[in-house]
Structure 1
């Protein structure tokens, strides 16, 4: 099975350290530098993102490795580290939505909850993870205006219609457990398929008309 996106980091050093750590525990991984810049007339970089990809079946093992490493850093944190001022409710939210937080913040949230007498068991964490996965599995709501634009552009033979249709039909996302799912609902994907077919048909028709004139 091919690699899928596991973690993304804002700097290369952090990403390379994680890649090295995973390799140490025999988890095959791929380090990717994603840079979106302005055209060649500009030198500034708009976005730099450093990504680690692994196989879906290695997600659980990788999570355990990173959690263990992060837990070892807790005692070295400064007293004014921002999570120390979080309420129990805010810390629980971190545990539930760990995919939105760093490994260190996730490990610290669990540590703080336990130190405050809040019961955080492996079973409760597993339950929270499953609930989060089910929440993330819900299809994203598409923009009806963009679907309409897609149909219009497809009929006019515009490239934008093809792009909108392709995104609606094929775009996927990776869940925290490594599972890959479609981003949009079955209904929206049907719209995407229709837009692609219309766009292709009208594009071919326009070429035929041009050649016959």
Structure 2
């Protein structure tokens, strides 16, 4: 069975509540998470640090995207003429549409309507192609991993406990794509280095602990 993964983050409870009610009305299962309580205990009472998340099953991402876009239907003629999207060039609007995950459903819909009024309508097929290209782009692992590897090896030999954490992170770190798919954050070569870093860290950590135990043993037997 699929696990819940983060769909969107909200800065206020009002935004969170409105979206949660929409999901309930559509009978879409979800899970709420308060990022502060879990990851930032020292700032548990600082509202400006609070980060609320709604998690969905990956298979529901597309359904929720479609629902939000449908609810965000707009008429360009009803929007104030000084709204910033009207100043975008055709290329900038197409770039906005191709990066739907970075924009609100309102702006995504309005960008399409503006292009249509300019005689450059984006077809459903073109939208699908743009979305697939965007998923391929986001699915790519981190481009420059050598710093992670260097830091990992330093930690493995000098601070083995943290080297273990780093190795596990490099091996298991994943990111969630806008379509709900989970992919590795690092490429295979970096994950291989993470495995080596993890093994070295474990060996060094074990040796350090053994040496400390021997030291304690000899001190008590002097």
How high is the TM-score relative to the length of structure 1?
0.90
SS of 1:39's partner is: helix
CA distance in 1, matches of 2:54, 2:149: 33
Which shows bigger deviation, 155-164 or 173-182? Answer: 155-164
Aligned to 2:84: 82
Of residues 70, 73, 88 in structure 2, which corresponds to 1:68?
A: 70
CA distance in 1, matches of 2:77, 2:161: 55
Q: Which runs of 5+ in 2 are unaligned?
A: 216-222
Aligned to 2:218: none
RMSD: 2.2
Shift of 1:76: 5.7
Q: Which stretches of structure 1, 4 residues or longer, exceed 6 Å deviation after superposition? A: none
Which shows bigger deviation, 42-51 or 90-99? Answer: 42-51
Would the alpha carbon gap of residues 210 and 149 (structure 1) be closer, same or farther in structure 2, given more than 3 Å must change? same
CA distance in 1, matches of 2:92, 2:151: 40
Of residues 112, 115, 128 in structure 2, which corresponds to 1:113?
A: 115
Structure 2 contact 75–110 (Cα < 8 Å) conserved: no
Structure 2 contact 145–186 (Cα < 8 Å) conserved: no
Structure 1 contact 4–53 (Cα < 8 Å) conserved: yes
Structure 1 contact 151–195 (Cα < 8 Å) conserved: yes
Shift of 1:153: 1.4
Which shows bigger deviation, 6-15 or 99-108? Answer: 6-15
CA distance in 2, matches of 1:208, 1:75: 75
Aligned to 1:29: 30
CA distance in 2, matches of 1:51, 1:175: 15
Q: Residue deviations 1:79-125, cap 9 Å, x none?
A: 32221221111110111011111111111111211121112111110
Shift of 1:39: 3.3
Shift of 1:142: 3.8
Q: Residue deviations 1:9-30, cap 9 Å, x none?
A: 3322112211211221111111
Aligned residues between the structures: 212
How high is the TM-score relative to the length of structure 2?
0.86
Task: Point out the structure with max Rg over C-alpha.
Answer: 2
CA distance in 2, matches of 1:165, 1:76: 54
Aligned to 2:103: 101
1:202 correspondence with 2:204: yes
Aligned to 1:134: 136
SS of 2:72's partner is: helix
CA distance in 1, matches of 2:200, 2:98: 43
Greater strand share, 1 or 2?
1
1:39 correspondence with 2:33: no
Aligned to 2:190: 188
Structure 2 contact 29–56 (Cα < 8 Å) conserved: yes
